[in-house]
């Protein structure tokens, strides 16, 4: 794998299934990771586990991404704590599923605020220190459904497809400064949420995946580790789809 020794990374939604897998993947390659999320207790527990199992001097920064003030304070807090930021992984996100005709304004607003607006604010805030260092890696976690659509998730798809377009624009703005910006789009990944599905539901999902099974958090972590590396410096404005062939997207 690719060495991330000497690099500082910030991962949002770090205590969740995919977020924790991303944090572990970066830590295993040598990065120092700032773990961010809204549940301080879960973050502390995960940080202790991460240090115990993989070593390193990792930190935790509690942040509620629905609070604009806290979002604006997150990058400065990471800089104060770690002294710099080389890698930003915008992983945190929520769903508020409903059919369009029934979707409440707050269901739309909550998803856009956390999944799209907070991602923009963190990208913008991280740009200045990265530009000064003339190096940076920004990775935004989107979703296969952001490219294919999905009934009952108009707010989520709007946010995720918006992040993809936003990432392409940002990549063009900062490429000359040694900063890359890319997306990783998971398909169905085994998490606590998918573990709650019954056997029939799981079989139905797996039947739609050419690989015949859901992915693991490690699959997303590996893609993030690559995009975070120095070796990926000529890859920018791209989306890596990690979905077991569920959707053949270029």
Residues designated as active site:
156
Q: Are 225 and 25 in contact (CB under 8 A)?
A: yes
Task: Report the C-alpha gap between 8 and 88 in whole angstroms.
Answer: 9
Spatial distance between the Cα atoms of 40 and 62, rounded to a whole number of angstroms? 6
CA distance 56 to 27: 7
> What's the length of the chain?
250
CA–CA dist 136, 157 (Å, integer): 27
Could you tell me which of 165, 174, 173 has the C-alpha nearest to residue 239? 165
* Per-residue buried b or exposed e for 50-64, using 16+ beta carbons within 10 Å of the residue's own CB: beeebebebbbbbbb
- Relative to beta strand 87-90, strand 8-11 is parallel
- Given phi > 0 = left and psi -120 to 50 = alpha, else beta, which region is 134? left
User: Which tokens go with 10?
Assistant: 């910030």
Q: Where do we find the tokens 């890698």?
A: 87
SS3 call for 34? strand
């Amino acid at each position: 794998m690719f060495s991330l020794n000497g690099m500082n990374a910030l991962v949002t939604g770090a205590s969740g299934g995919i977020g924790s897998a991303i944090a572990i993947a970066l830590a295993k390659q040598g990065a120092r990771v700032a773990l961010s999320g809204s549940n301080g207790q879960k973050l502390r527990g995960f940080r202790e586990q991460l240090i115990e199992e993989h070593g390193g001097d990792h930190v935790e920064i509690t942040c509620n991404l629905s609070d604009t003030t806290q979002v604006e304070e997150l990058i400065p807090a990471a800089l104060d704590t770690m002294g710099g930021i080389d890698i930003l992984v915008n992983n945190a996100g929520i769903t508020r599923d409903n059919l369009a005709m029934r979707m409440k304004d707050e269901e739309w607003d909550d998803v856009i605020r956390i999944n799209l607006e907070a991602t923009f604010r963190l990208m913008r805030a991280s740009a200045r220190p990265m530009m000064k260092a003339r190096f940076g890696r920004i990775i935004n976690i989107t979703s296969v459904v952001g490219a294919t659509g999905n009934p009952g998730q108009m707010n989520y798809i709007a946010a995720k497809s918006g992040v993809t377009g936003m990432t392409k624009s940002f990549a063009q703005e900062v490429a000359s400064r040694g900063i890359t910006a890319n997306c990783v789009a998971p398909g169905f990944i085994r998490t606590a949420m998918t573990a709650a599905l019954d056997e029939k539901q799981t079989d139905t999902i797996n039947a739609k995946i050419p690989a015949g099974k859901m992915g693991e958090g490690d699959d997303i972590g590996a893609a993030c580790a690559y995009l975070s590396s120095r070796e990926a410096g000529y890859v920018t404005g791209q989306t890596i789809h990690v979905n077991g062939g569920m959707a053949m997207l270029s």
